């Protein structure tokens, strides 16, 4: 077994995520509104991340997008990361901007 495999198995965050993903969806909490759901998600994620963007779909297939940042500098950094991520995924090159050292 490689060292990378051992590190993955011992990562407590990875184990927590596996446990959550394997939980029974039938026991999920029902939220009255999308706003209530996103407030709960933001509260949980902000315990682990200083700034973040979440984009996805809820269980009913509705689009979900939220971000958490405490100041303008963090918000700008998130927006830059988000744009660079999509440019990287699509192969678009921004003139004058190097992707050197920037990997996903």
Strand ranges in the chain using DSSP code E only, listed in sequence order: 52-57, 63-68
- pLDDT tens digits along 9-63: 578 888 877 777 676 555 566 778 878 878 888 888 988 989 999 998 877 888 8
- pLDDT tens digits along 29-43: 677 887 887 888 888
What does the angle CA 68 – CA 72 – CA 76 come to, to the nearest 5 degrees? 80
Domain residue ranges of the chain, discontinuous segments joined by +: 3-90
């Amino acid at each position: 077994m490689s060292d990378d495999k051992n590190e993955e198995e011992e990562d407590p965050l990875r184990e927590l995520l596996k446990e959550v993903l394997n939980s029974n969806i039938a026991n999920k909490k029902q939220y009255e509104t999308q706003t209530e759901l996103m407030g709960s998600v933001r509260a949980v994620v902000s315990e682990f991340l200083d700034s973040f963007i979440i984009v996805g779909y809820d269980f009913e297939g509705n689009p979900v997008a939220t971000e958490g940042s405490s100041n303008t500098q963090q918000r700008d950094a998130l927006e830059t990361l988000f744009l660079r991520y999509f440019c990287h995924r699509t192969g678009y090159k921004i003139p004058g901007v190097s992707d050197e050292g920037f990997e996903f």
